[in-house]
Amino acid sequence: MGNVLAMRVDDLGTPYDGPRVAARVVSLVPSITEALATDRPEALVGATDWCTHPSDLDVPRVRGTKNPDLAAVRALAPDLVVANKEENRELDVRRLREAGVRVWVTDIETVPQALDSLERLYEVALGWPRPEWLGRARALWDGPPPAVTQRVAVAIWRDPWMVVGARTFTGDLVRRLGWENAFAGSVERYPKVDLADLDRDDLDLVLLPDEPYLFTAEDGPEAFARTPTRLVPGRLLTWYGPALVEARPALGTTPAPRAAQP
């Protein structure tokens, strides 16, 4: 029993003493919200304003990932609050714990980490069976990355332009699709860059997702004269959870990028 209890720690090593089966869960992580709502919707009692999937999600909202309404979270009387090291502030996690709320923090920077973290979340914190989609995601993403086929950049913001850099889940996902992230060697995880750093001949493609910045056909591609661009669903690039099952086939078969302007 002691060894089993010793294993009940979240991704940051914080002990967890919640019930063996969580019946009331608040999620502060959009991709994990989607997973919980897919598998046991009756147990999900709260989520953030940014939790947009499933599209018919109907639960009380507790504001944003960076500014959750902690009083609203407490009022929902959750067995467990799920957070993420990157998505959520340590201050909010600490304040919830000081108020007696149990919080499980995930830490995810790679696709394998995501799969392992979600498996532990279900087994150790939630006490729920491993979901079918998680097994399919592992089958799709296990194994070494394929040979590099193109050099890409992933833009996440405009004015100023920002891109995916080092030590990120998205960067690792891109690598496992056979794409080299041109900014993988950056010091920052999400560096600011000049447009000239993106619109250049040695890049094969710039990916323009619809979140966190909403790139559209009219807002993004027109800025590029040399580098081809591709609009992609941000959820497939940045969300771990059921989106992982969709991401590999969808991103691997999306239409060819537009031709660069002469």
Residue type, 48: T
pLDDT in tens, 189-246: 999 999 999 999 999 999 999 999 999 999 999 999 999 999 999 999 999 999 999 9
The encoded tokens of residue 10 equal 């979240």
- pLDDT band, very low/low/confident/very high, at 21 (cuts 50, 70, 90): very high
DSSP readout, 199-247?
SSTT-SEEEEESSSS--BTTBSGGG-SSS-EEEE-HHHHH--STHHHHH
* Region 150-253: CATH code: 3.40.50.1980
Domain ranges of the chain: 2-139, 150-253
**Model's pTM, two decimal places?**
0.89
| Ramachandran angles phi, psi of 4, nearest 5° | -65, -45
Task: Indicate if the pLDDT at residue 3 is higher than 70.
Answer: no
Q: Which residues of 122-159 are buried (b: 16+ CB within 10 A; e: fewer)?
A: bebbbebeebebbeebbebbeeeeeeeeeebbbbbeee
Task: Indicate if the pLDDT at residue 149 is higher than 80.
Answer: yes
CB atoms within 10 A of CB 185: 8
Region of residue 100 (left: phi > 0; alpha: psi -120 to 50; beta: else): left
- pLDDT band, very low/low/confident/very high, at 151 (cuts 50, 70, 90): very high
- pLDDT band, very low/low/confident/very high, at 7 (cuts 50, 70, 90): confident
Whole-number pLDDT of residue 111: 96
Residue that is written with structure tokens 């609050």 in the block: 81
Whole-number pLDDT of residue 253: 54
* E strand residue ranges, the chain: 25-27, 44-47, 80-84, 103-106, 150-157, 161-163, 179-181, 192-193, 205-209, 229-232
Spatial distance between the Cα atoms of 260 and 230, rounded to a whole number of angstroms: 11
5-19, 29-43, 64-78, 92-106: least confidently modelled range: 5-19
Asked whether this chain's domains 2-139 and 150-253 adopt the same fold, the reply is yes
Spatial distance between the Cα atoms of 59 and 82, rounded to a whole number of angstroms: 15
| Residue 86 burial by Cβ neighbours in a 10 Å radius (0-12, 13-18, 19+) | middle
* Region 2-139: CATH code: 3.40.50.1980
Whole-number pLDDT of residue 117: 97
